[in-house]
Amino acid sequence: MLPSELTPAPLERLSALLERGGTLVLTGAGVSTESGIPDYRDELGNWKRSPPIQFREFTGSEASRRRYWARSLLGFRVLGEARPNRAHRALADLERQGRISGIVTQNVDGLHQAAGARNVVDLHGRIDQVTCLSCGERTPRATLQRELARLNPEWTALPARIAPDGDADPGELDTSGFRVPDCACGGMLKPDVVFFGENVPKARVESAMAALERAASLLVVGSSLMVFSGYRFVRAAERLGIPVAVVNRGHTRADGVAEVKVDGDAASTLDQVARRLC
């Protein structure tokens, strides 16, 4: 162990790790905050707001569904217009240069792909898609957004604070009159994202795990890793002897095992690394 003044700075160690190539990147809400999409937890890993809706609550209560879609009509306005930031662009550049092998994201915003990343696993699904719980048909969220606006014109201009996952907080509002369309088959529509209380589809986890098994290292960016669905990749990396690096503002559950931890902003850190290596 070198005396601390001789230890290469974390940014240099991160660059050296990525320079070797074959890094799989696991991202979370922190990569998208610069795009105006809030994260869930603070720098200590505690919830910043009330936890998102549970799958059972959504499917089991019509009142909850009305409330969900009313808030989502407002939230999607912002999310649908969000653009990739420097973190997404740097990761896409690093992928093009062969430094990273792919991205597994817990985010549902599609911003990695919008920045040009090609090999992306959307672990928790995509908010720009809607699925029918009866017939399984997937349709664009933009279509449903137009239909929600047509059925509820008085809602479209309400001010609301944006929340994660395309949710919004308009304050206490009576949503009992909010109209929610069904699928053409009569089934219940749900955003094509994994809600709390739902499992990530097995095939998706397996393809992300297979990518990890082929990887030379795992880089976690902008995730507290408080949710097992992401944390399991750090546990697997430990088992496989794959080195782990972290870029995150604040605490993560990988801090104890990370060979490199950059406690800072994802966008400026990745931007600097990409400039060095690309």
Does residue 57 touch ligand APR according to CB under 6 A?
no
Q: Which is nearer to ligand APR, 118 or 228 (CB)?
A: 228
Q: Using CB under 6 A, which of the segments 143-151, 153-161, 182-190, 223-231 binds ligand APR? A: 223-231
Check residue 124 for interaction with ligand APR (CB under 6 A): yes
Which residue's entry shows tokens 């690096």?
Answer: 245
- Minimum distance, C-beta of residue 53 to ligand APR, in the bound complex (Å): 11
Residue 243: count of CB within 10 angstroms of its CB: 18
Binding-site size, ligand APR (CB under 6 A): 25
Rounded CA separation 70/68 (Å): 6
Residue with tokens 């908010």: 127
Question: Residue 9 class from Cβ within 10 Å (0-12 exposed, 13-18 middle, 19+ buried)?
Answer: exposed
Pairing of strands 244-247, 260-262: parallel
What distance in Å separates the CA atoms of residue 243 and residue 178, rounded to the nearest whole number? 50
Binding test (CB under 6 A) with ligand APR, winner from 14, 18, 26, 33: 33
Stretch that binds ligand APR, among 61-69, 136-144, 179-187, 261-269 (CB under 6 A): 261-269
Residues 271 and 86: beta-carbon distance below 8 Å: yes
Q: Does 66 bind ligand APR (CB under 6 A)?
A: no
CA separation for the pair 194, 226 (Å, rounded): 16
Which residue stretch of 31-39, 113-121, 137-145, 152-160 sits at the interface with ligand APR (rule: CB under 6 A)?
31-39
- For residues 230 to 259, the per-residue mask of contacts with ligand APR, x marking binding by CB under 6 A and - elsewhere, is x-----------------xxx---------
- 43 interacts with ligand APR by CB under 6 A: yes
What the block records as the tokens of 85 is 């930031």
Is 106 an interacting residue with respect to ligand APR (CB under 6 A)?
yes
Query: Do residues 24 and 210 touch, judged by C-beta distance below 8 A?
Result: no
Nearest CA to 253 out of 234, 273, 278, 274 is that of 234
Supply the minimum distance, in Å, between the C-beta of residue 22 and ligand APR. 23
Is residue 52 within the footprint of ligand APR (CB under 6 A)?
A: yes
CA distance 18 to 219: 9
11 binds ligand APR (CB under 6 A): no
Token pair 């960016």 in the structure block, residue: 221
> Can you give the binding site for ligand APR, defined by CB under 6 A?
28-30, 33-34, 39-41, 43, 52, 106, 124, 222-227, 230, 248-250, 265-267
